[in-house]
Amino acid sequence: MNWFIYEFPKWLKKNLFNTPVNSVVSLFIISLGLKASMYILDWTFLSAVFTGDASTCRESTGFCYPFIKEKFPFIIYGFYPRELIWRPTLAMILLLSSFFYVKEPKRWNKYSLWILSSGFFLFFFLMRGGLFLEVVTNDKWGGLPLTLMLSSIGIIFSYPFGIMLALARRGNLKILKTLSITYIEMIRGVPLISILFMSSVMFPLFLPEGITIDKLLRAQVAIILFVSAYMAEVIRGGLESIDKGQYEASNSLGLSYFQTMRFIIIPQAIRVVIPPTVNTAIGMFKDTSLVLIIALFDLLNTTKSSLKDSDWLGFSVEAYVFVAIIYYVFCYAMSKYANRLEEEFGIKSR
Amino acid sequence: MSENIIEMNKINKWYDDFHVLKDVDLNVKKGEKIVICGPSGSGKSTMIRCINRLEEFQQGSLMVDGININNNIKNIEAVRKDVGMVFQHFNLFPHLTILENLTLAPTRVKRVPKEEAELMAMEYLDLVRIGDQAHKFPGQLSGGQKQRVAIARSLCMRPKVLLFDEPTSALDPEMVKEVLDVMVKLAKEGITMLCVTHEMGFAREVADRVLFMDEGRIVEENNPNDFFDNPKNERTKNFLSQIIH
C-alpha cells in the first residue's frame, strides 16, 4: 500500500510522463487499452450467455458459452465414438506427460528415447484399441489428438532427417551432396498443400492394384518429408556457424568424421539454432491444419465442421476464438520451452 | 634411421598458385625439442600442420613414427593418435566441461574405460595446475587456463609428439608465463616437441634446435645459443633484430 502511494506516482512520472510527447502518447495508449479491455470484459463476461440454447445466444451480443459446451466433444475429439472418449483423453495425457518428462535437459540419457517411445506406443494403443479394447479405425480419429500426433511425430522425425540432409549437403561426397540439394530445393519449392494432395490423390495411382497405404500414414509421411527440408536448412545454418578450429581440434585428437560430428559439431550446431528450430516447429504445428484439404479432421477442420450444425448456425467467432486459444497455448509452450533451453545452454557454454 | 620419429622429405605444397612449402626437409629425433620461428606467411604453421595431416601436401614424403602419411584415412587416424596438437586459439570444446574435454578422445578413440580416463585426466589437470577447475566450462576460464587445459587435453592421448602452433600468441602478456612454464616442464620430461613460437627465452631454455623459415623454406637451423647470438643468414639477422627490442 505504501508503495502504491509513494512509489507508484514516481514510477509513472519517470516511465510514462517524463516528456510532454510521452505523456500524450501514454494517455492515448492507456485510453485505447482501457477501451479494449472494457470491450473484452463485456463480450466475454457481462453480456455473455452462460446457460441456454442457440436462441438465447442470438438475443445477446456477448460470447456464447453454451455453443462451446455443446460442440466441445466434437471440436476436441472429432468423430471418435462418444462413449469411448476417455481413451483419446488418456492418450493425450500420457503423450504430453512423456514430452513433459523428456523435455528436461538433465534427464537426457539413454532412457529418454524409451520413455518417448512408450508415450507414443500407449497413445496409439489407446487411440486404436485392440486386445481388450474395442478397435477404433483411424478414419474416426480427429480433433486435438490428431493434430498433436501429426505435429509431434512430424517434428520428432524431421529432426534426424534434417540433420542427415544438412550433413550430406555440407559433406564431401558429390552424389550425396547433389541428392540432398535437389531434395531440399524441390520440397521447399512446393507448397505443403500440393505435397499433401500428391500423397492423397496421386501416390495411390502409382501403387500396384490391391495395395493401399493408409491415408493418415501418407499425410504423416508427407508432413515429415516437407518439414525435414526446412529443418535441414536450419541445421545447416548451425553447422556453418561452427569454427573451423573445432574440426581441427577434434581431428587432431584422432576422432573420426562421425565422432567429430556426433560429439563436437552437431551438439554445438543444434544449440546455436534453437530459435529458428522452434520457429519451424511452431510453423509446422499450425501447418498440420492443412490436412483438412485431404479430408482429415484435425483440430481446425473439426472446428469448421462444428459450424455447419443447423441448430447452431452463426457462432463462428466463438468457435475460432476457442480453437485459437488452444493453438496459442501449445505454441506459447513451445516458445517458452525454447527460451529455457537457450538459457540453460547459454549459461553452460559461455 | 630408426630413431627419427619424423622424417620429412622434400615436401612441397601449393595453395592454388601460391607455393607455401618449398622442398622442406626435416628429421626429428625422438625426444628432440625444436622451435620454429619466422615471419608470418613463411609456412611454419603449415609445415607442422602437415605432420598430423591438418594440411595436405602435393609432393614429397612424410613418415611419422614409421607411418607413411598419405591419403589413406587409416594411416592418418593412426598418426593423429600419436601426435598431439595445441592451437593458437585453444579450440576447446565449449559445450563440454573441462573434464569432458579431456576424456572425450581417450574414451572414444582409444576406448579407455570412463573411470580410468577421468583419473588420467585429473592427473594431467594437476600437472598443468588446473585440477580445481575440472567441472567448469571453457567459457569460465581465462586464456592462460584455457591453453593449459588444451595442453592437458592433448597429453591425455599420451602422444609421442606434441605440436604447438603459436601457443602463446593469443594470450594476454601476463598469462604467457604460466603456459610457458607448463611447456618447459613437459620438455624436461622428454616428450618430442615441435613448437612454432617467437618466445626466445623459451627457445633458449629448452630447444635442441631452432629453425628459421622464410618464404616456404627452412633458411637457417642451429642450436639456440648460436642461432640467437650469431645468426649466419641475412634474413635471420633482420628478423631477429625486429623481434628483439
- Which residues of chain A have a Cβ shorter than 8 Å from any chain B Cβ? 243, 245-246, 248-256, 259, 263-264, 267-268, 271, 345, 348-350
CA distance A184 to B52: 36
Tell me the pLDDT band of A223, cut-offs 50, 70 and 90: very high
Task: Examine residue A75 and state whether it is found in any structural domain, yes or no.
Answer: no
Tell me if A123 sits within 8 A of A94, measured CB to CB. yes
**Position A314 pLDDT exceeds 50:** yes
**Position A152 pLDDT exceeds 80:** yes
Task: Examine residue A190 and state whether it is found in any structural domain, yes or no.
Answer: yes
pLDDT at B24: 92
Which residue ranges of chain B lie beneath pLDDT 50?
Answer: 1
Q: What percent of chain A has pLDDT above 90?
A: 59
Task: Examine residue A55 and state whether it is found in any structural domain, yes or no.
Answer: no
Which residues in chain B (111-140) have CB-CB distances under 8 A to chain A? 137, 139
Which residues in chain B (43-62) have CB-CB distances under 8 A to chain A? 52, 54
Are A192 and A254 part of one and the same domain? yes
Residues 6+ apart with CB under 8 A from A315: A54, A57, A64, A67, A307
**Position A1 pLDDT exceeds 80:** no
Number of domains chain A contains: 3
Are A211 and A271 part of one and the same domain? yes
Are A123 and A157 part of one and the same domain? no
Distance from CA of B220 to the nearest CA of A (A): 28
CA distance A54 to A314: 9
Q: What is the mean pLDDT of chain A?
A: 90
Are A97 and A220 part of one and the same domain? no
Contacts of A255 in chain B (CB under 8 A): 104-105, 108-109
Are A126 and A264 part of one and the same domain? no
CB-CB: which of A245, A255, A271 is closest to B108? A255
Are A107 and A247 part of one and the same domain? no
Q: Which of A135, A160, A175 is the last residue of a domain?
A: A135
Q: What is the ipTM of this complex?
A: 0.92
Task: Give the chain B residue whose CA is nearest to the CA of A262.
Answer: B108
Give backbone dihedrals phi and psi of B196, rounded to 5 degrees, phi first: -85, 115
Instruction: Output the domain CATH number for residue A343.
Output: 1.10.3720.10
Are A194 and A296 part of one and the same domain? yes
pLDDT at A215: 87
Task: Examine residue A76 and state whether it is found in any structural domain, yes or no.
Answer: no
pLDDT at A348: 60
Are A127 and A239 part of one and the same domain? no
pLDDT at B245: 60
Are A115 and A8 part of one and the same domain? no
**Position A251 pLDDT exceeds 90:** yes
Are A95 and A229 part of one and the same domain? no
Task: Examine residue A262 and state whether it is found in any structural domain, yes or no.
Answer: yes
pLDDT at A267: 92
Are the beta carbons of B139 and A253 separated by less than 8 Å? no
Please give the interface size between A and B, counted as residue pairs whose CB atoms are below 8 Å apart.
66
User: A12-27 pLDDT, tens per residue?
Assistant: 888 888 888 989 999 9
pLDDT at B1: 44
Task: Examine residue A333 and state whether it is found in any structural domain, yes or no.
Answer: yes
CA distance A231 to A236: 8
Are the beta carbons of B84 and A252 separated by less than 8 Å? yes
Contacts of A348 in chain B (CB under 8 A): 95, 137
Least Cα distance to A295 among A286, A305, A287 occurs for: A305
Are the beta carbons of A245 and B89 separated by less than 8 Å? yes
Task: Examine residue A28 and state whether it is found in any structural domain, yes or no.
Answer: yes
Are the beta carbons of A246 and B93 separated by less than 8 Å? yes
User: A96-128 pLDDT, tens per residue?
Assistant: 999 999 888 888 888 888 999 999 999 999 998
Task: Examine residue A128 and state whether it is found in any structural domain, yes or no.
Answer: yes
Cell 594470450 sits on residue: B171
Are A192 and A340 part of one and the same domain? yes
CB-CB: which of A259, A264, A271 is closest to B93? A264
Are A169 and A226 part of one and the same domain? yes
Write out the residue range of the structural domain in which residue A101 sits: 81-135
Are the beta carbons of A252 and B109 separated by less than 8 Å? no
- Whether the pTM exceeds 0.90: the reply is no
